[in-house]
Amino acid sequence: MRGDPGAHELIAPGSLNAVLSLLANEPGKWTPIAGGTELMVAHAAGRLTARNLVSLWGIGDLRFIRIHSDSIVVGAGSTFRDLRAHVTISGDFPLLSKAAGWIGSIANQSRATLGGNLVNGSPAADSSPVLLAYDAEVELISVRGTRRLPYAEFHTGYKQNVLAADELLYAVHLPRRFAQHRQYLRKVGTRRAMAISKVALAGCAFVERGTVREIRLGVASVAAYPTRLYRTEKAICGKTIGPETIRAARAAVSADIVPIDDIRSTAEYRRIVTGNLLQEFLSGLDAPRENMTLSLAQWNEADGESAVNAMLACCGAHKWAASMIAHRPIANESDLHDIADRMWETMKESDWMEAFACHPRIGERTVSQGSSESLTWSQQEQSSISTAAETTLRQLAEGNARYEERFGFTYIVCATGKSPEEMLSILNRRLSSDRAAELREAAEQQRQIMHIRLRKWLDE
Ligand SMILES: Cc1cc2nc3c(=O)[nH]c(=O)nc-3n(C[C@H](O)[C@H](O)[C@H](O)COP(=O)(O)OP(=O)(O)OC[C@H]3O[C@@H](n4cnc5c(N)ncnc54)[C@H](O)[C@@H]3O)c2cc1C
């Protein structure tokens, strides 16, 4: 049902002070509207309960990006298009740039404001995990003055926050100290753009000689509001990255999140995917940065056949490897991973099958297809199998056979950091999936393996 425009009043006082006076004089009466991309959708659906709207659009005192030596301050009225276009933001806060590019369409990004995204407080808001990972602070303003608090303390419940009736969100402060940090952002949704996330994770970590000295993790869509993973961070900080730490982190993350079943996904799926994303981020943390550009530079210059072979060891689909080569020269590690994902998204079932066929079955050491390097990496990834009990090995072999009979391809699981028992229990669970869902899951596992191998390859 559409809303009735006559039932609403909209005023535009045109200055920040005038809006603040209005909010102070009649607290609770006026609802701010910035880009309107949330409120107008609610209005169109007949769900807009606010009767009196005060416009923030066009107020210059809310739309700014100020650069200081130790921080960047982004006005709440800045649009996601402003953020994407800003060179210092894309240089110092690449995750924020990336998330800004995910907010709806280009048209949407030209209206949607950072402030509106945060105050609206959707558990799936794309900017939120990034701000949590970057340790952002929010600044609130009223006629009484301003106050600052960590963004991690802004949300208090589903679509609830600490704003008083006479306050606006004024700005977001981002500390400029992450040049040496490893940064990660991934959103799992039906599509990358114009899709609400099923799960999103942002991470920012400082690693010194293999030990994690500092880490912050922000997630979306796995709790009532965007959340910092404090327990998980504690389980990782001070530890060296390896299977033990990854296992402890995966266990901790389950206690940090409260996912729900809804129309987009199930709680169980969200729990598993959050663990997978975390593992993907952590697995990349121990790869030294220094060698990256050298390997990549050599690959950028290599002859076509060697360059394809290097990619095929990471993922055995020829079409994917050829599409990677077509993107040479690739400037850096982050671009390499982004392109790898984008190309993987364009692959078809036949390409997936080709990639799956290069993996030995879990519990076996040989495979008839794929390069010798791919086989060596598979054996390393499955190294925990050497600790498996006879019964586990037998059950894995039986499960593999049933799986192949049911789905027609090899059981693919990202084996890095997983025990034989975990791989067996995942196999048993996935045996009850339908084929379409299982195919997607196998392709996602293959994607994770591909990223781990790309990092190994860059590290060589
Ligand atoms: C087609 C479409 C696709 C979308 N895709 C995505 C997506 O992929 N990811 C995503 O995260 N979001 C998405 N959104 C949601 C939306 O665009 C964002 O949440 C946007 O950032 C909201 O900003 P706005 O300025 O339009 O908010 P508005 O609709 O103007 O306001 C939203 C809320 O914030 C309050 N508010 C706004 N500014 C302030 C302020 N300075 N101080 C206090 N309160 C304030 C308003 O009172 C209101 O409660 C999508 C929306 C549409 C229509």
Q: Do residues 363 and 413 share a domain? A: yes
- Alpha-carbon distance of 180 to 240, in angstroms, equals 17
For 211-238, b/e burial (b = at least 16 CB within 10 A) is ebebbbbbbbbbbebbbbbebbbebbbe
Q: Do residues 130 and 257 share a domain? A: no
Residue nearest to atom 47 of ligand 1 (CA): 32
Q: What is the pLDDT of residues 385-439, one digit of tens each?
A: 888 999 999 999 999 999 999 999 999 999 988 899 999 999 999 999 999 999 9
Q: Do residues 314 and 422 share a domain? A: yes
Name the residue of 15, 83, 120 whose CB sits within 8 Å of the most ligand 1 atoms, as the mutation to test its pocket. Answer: 120
What does residue 448 show for φ and ψ, rounded to 5 degrees? -65, -40
Amino acid making up residue 201: L
What confidence score (pLDDT) does residue 72 get?
Answer: 95
Q: Using an 8 Å Cβ cutoff, are 173 and 148 in contact?
A: yes
pLDDT-derived band at 338 (thresholds 50, 70, 90) equals confident
Q: Do residues 306 and 405 share a domain? A: yes
Does position 42 have pLDDT exceeding 60, yes or no? Answer: yes
Q: Is the CB of 118 under 6 A from ligand 1?
A: no
Does position 287 have pLDDT exceeding 80, yes or no? Answer: no
Closest ligand 1 atom to the C-alpha of 77?
41
With a CB cutoff of 8 Å and minimum separation 6, the contacts of 240 are: 210, 211, 212, 286
Query: Which SS3 state, helix, strand or coil, does residue 340 take?
Result: helix
Residue nearest to atom 11 of ligand 1 (CA): 125
Q: Using an 8 Å Cβ cutoff, are 328 and 307 in contact?
A: yes
Q: Do residues 156 and 85 share a domain? A: yes
Q: Do residues 122 and 187 share a domain? A: no
Q: Do residues 321 and 444 share a domain? A: yes
pLDDT-derived band at 289 (thresholds 50, 70, 90) equals low
Size of the chain, expressed as the number of residues it contains: 460
Does position 301 have pLDDT exceeding 70, yes or no? Answer: yes
Domain of 187, CATH number, reads 3.30.390.50
What range does the domain containing 49 cover?
5-55
Does position 191 have pLDDT exceeding 70, yes or no? Answer: no
Closest by CA to 15, choosing from 55, 71, 46, 48, is 55
Q: Do residues 217 and 270 share a domain? A: yes
Q: Is the CB of 317 under 6 A from ligand 1?
A: no
Does position 264 have pLDDT exceeding 90, yes or no? Answer: no
pLDDT-derived band at 1 (thresholds 50, 70, 90) equals low
Average pLDDT over the chain, rounded to whole?
Answer: 91
Q: Do residues 316 and 383 share a domain? A: yes
Encoding tokens for residue 389? 């009990």
Does position 22 have pLDDT exceeding 60, yes or no? Answer: yes
Query: Which SS3 state, helix, strand or coil, does residue 150 take?
Result: strand
Higher pLDDT, 222 or 190: 222
Residue nearest to atom 5 of ligand 1 (CA): 104
Among the three residues 175, 210, 240, which one is the final residue of a domain in this structure?
Answer: 175
Q: What is the pLDDT of residues 97-114, one digit of tens each?
A: 889 988 988 899 999 999
Instruction: Please give the sequence-ordered ranges of beta strands (E in DSSP) within 124-251, or none if there are none.
Output: 137-142, 145-150, 155-157, 160-161, 168-175, 182-188, 199-208, 211-220, 227-228
pLDDT-derived band at 12 (thresholds 50, 70, 90) equals very high
Among the three residues 36, 55, 74, which one is the final residue of a domain in this structure?
Answer: 55
Q: What is the pLDDT of residues 357-389, one digit of tens each?
A: 999 999 988 888 888 888 888 888 888 888 899
Q: Is the CB of 34 under 6 A from ligand 1?
A: yes
With a CB cutoff of 8 Å and minimum separation 6, the contacts of 169 are: 76, 115, 118, 119, 138, 139, 140, 141, 163
pLDDT-derived band at 266 (thresholds 50, 70, 90) equals confident
Closest by CA to 370, choosing from 385, 356, 382, 350, is 356
CA geometry: angle 178, 203, 341, nearest 5 deg = 110
Closest ligand 1 atom to the C-alpha of 114?
21
Does position 321 have pLDDT exceeding 90, yes or no? Answer: yes
Task: Compute, in angstroms, the gap from residue 153 CA to the centroid of ligand 1.
Answer: 19
Q: Do residues 241 and 101 share a domain? A: no
Query: Which SS3 state, helix, strand or coil, does residue 56 take?
Result: coil
Pairing type for strands 137-142 and 168-175 reads: antiparallel
Q: Is the CB of 126 under 6 A from ligand 1?
A: yes
Task: Compute, in angstroms, the gap from residue 29 CA to the centroid of ligand 1.
Answer: 20
Q: Using an 8 Å Cβ cutoff, are 92 and 104 in contact?
A: no
Higher pLDDT, 91 or 239: 239
Q: Is the CB of 31 under 6 A from ligand 1?
A: yes
Task: Compute, in angstroms, the gap from residue 135 CA to the centroid of ligand 1.
Answer: 21
Q: Using an 8 Å Cβ cutoff, are 200 and 221 in contact?
A: yes
Task: Compute, in angstroms, the gap from residue 112 CA to the centroid of ligand 1.
Answer: 5
Residue nearest to atom 9 of ligand 1 (CA): 103
Does position 195 have pLDDT exceeding 70, yes or no? Answer: no
What confidence score (pLDDT) does residue 197 get?
Answer: 65
Q: Do residues 158 and 231 share a domain? A: no
What confidence score (pLDDT) does residue 268 get?
Answer: 85
With a CB cutoff of 8 Å and minimum separation 6, the contacts of 219 are: 129, 132, 199, 200, 201, 202, 226, 227, 229, 256, 257, 274
Q: Is the CB of 33 under 6 A from ligand 1?
A: yes
Q: Is the CB of 36 under 6 A from ligand 1?
A: yes
Closest ligand 1 atom to the C-alpha of 168?
42
pLDDT-derived band at 190 (thresholds 50, 70, 90) equals low
Among the three residues 55, 71, 88, which one is the final residue of a domain in this structure?
Answer: 55
Domain of 321, CATH number, reads 1.10.3330.10
End-to-end CA distance of the chain: 60
Encoding tokens for residue 449? 């393996």
Q: Using an 8 Å Cβ cutoff, are 231 and 258 in contact?
A: no
Domain of 46, CATH number, reads 3.30.43.10
Kindly state the average pLDDT of the residues 290-295: 61
Closest ligand 1 atom to the C-alpha of 38?
29
Q: Is the CB of 257 under 6 A from ligand 1?
A: no
Q: Is the CB of 119 under 6 A from ligand 1?
A: yes
Instruction: Return the DSSP state at 384.
Output: G
The number of domains in the chain is 4
Q: Do residues 157 and 214 share a domain? A: no
**Alpha helices (H) along 140-221:** none
Task: Compute, in angstroms, the gap from residue 193 CA to the centroid of ligand 1.
Answer: 16
Closest ligand 1 atom to the C-alpha of 80?
21
Task: Compute, in angstroms, the gap from residue 137 CA to the centroid of ligand 1.
Answer: 19
What does residue 188 show for φ and ψ, rounded to 5 degrees? -105, 115
- Alpha-carbon distance of 96 to 215, in angstroms, equals 17
Task: Compute, in angstroms, the gap from residue 449 CA to the centroid of ligand 1.
Answer: 36
Q: Is the CB of 108 under 6 A from ligand 1?
A: yes
Residue 123: C-alpha distances to residues 156, 222, 225, 436 (Å): 12, 7, 4, 28
